[in-house]
A and B are shown apart, each in its own frame.
Chain A
């Protein structure tokens, strides 16, 4: 079993839908990252959080430390949100453990 599990692996939705991507982990962490990988391959950091909730534009990230679970939400989704979303956790040794990613396609 992977230490970081993302679900779903693939998600296709219509423009405007509310999107939720989940990340569960089994190790103690000091922080959790959400990143976005564009079709061309470049990766951009979206959030780093260790508790609570963060919001940036239409993106919201939450984390529940007790349940070892984080979610990434996209409101009013748009085709340009189509990308692979990756969850990564920083363990107690400050090493990063990566999820396999969730491929999101937003159809117009």
Chain B
């Protein structure tokens, strides 16, 4: 069965420090991968998505970057965090459009709560 792991679950970082959130998917290949951010009391905002290794699309210009070094690994990074980067970050995956058994369903990690002080 497919699973998704995201870590760390909670992170408190000072302004100006770097960030690395990691997401890995098991039990499938060539997934579409997504990073979302949810500010307090607000809906999900798509930050990045990837349809393959090394392929990253950015939805919102910001202080963050994403990388996909392996098929089932998606990393969200920042070189210098800002206060406004605080929020709840969610990794998600779905099978690609051209995938085999494409249910189209979305699967989410448990999320990473980032507080920048």
Residue on A nearest B46 in the bound complex, by CB: A96
Q: Is the CB of B108 within 8 A of A98?
A: no
Q: Is the CB of B44 within 8 A of A94?
A: no
Q: Is the CB of A101 within 8 A of B88?
A: no
Q: Could you tell me how many residues of chain A have their Cβ less than 8 Å away from some Cβ of chain B?
A: 20
Q: Is the CB of B43 within 8 A of A31?
A: no
With A98-B43, A100-B43 as given contacts, are A45 and B107 in contact (CB-CB < 8 Å)?
A: yes
Chain B residues with CB below 8 A from A88, complex form = 44, 106
Alpha-carbon gap, A45 to B34, bound state (A): 15
Chain B residues with CB below 8 A from A41, complex form = 38, 88, 90, 110-111, 113
Q: Is the CB of B110 within 8 A of A42?
A: yes
Chain B residues with CB below 8 A from A94, complex form = 97
**One of B42, B90, B97, B113 near A43 (C-beta < 8 A):** B90
Q: Which residues of A in the span 76-90 have a Cβ within 8 Å of any Cβ on B?
A: 86, 88, 90
Q: Is the CB of B90 within 8 A of A48?
A: no
Q: Is the CB of A35 within 8 A of B110?
A: no
Q: Which residues of A in the span 41-78 have a Cβ within 8 Å of any Cβ on B?
A: 41-45, 48
With A41-B113, A42-B110 as given contacts, are A48 and B88 in contact (CB-CB < 8 Å)?
A: no
Closest chain B CB from A82 CB (angstroms): 16
Q: Is the CB of A42 within 8 A of B111?
A: yes
With A41-B88, A41-B111, A43-B90 as given contacts, are A100 and B42 in contact (CB-CB < 8 Å)?
A: yes
Closest chain A CB from B24 CB (angstroms): 17
Q: Does any Cβ of A come within 8 Å of B103's Cβ?
A: yes
With A41-B88, A86-B44, A98-B44 as given contacts, are A33 and B106 in contact (CB-CB < 8 Å)?
A: yes
Q: Does any Cβ of A come within 8 Å of B18's Cβ?
A: no
Chain A residues with CB below 8 A from B34, complex form = 96
Alpha-carbon gap, A101 to B43, bound state (A): 6
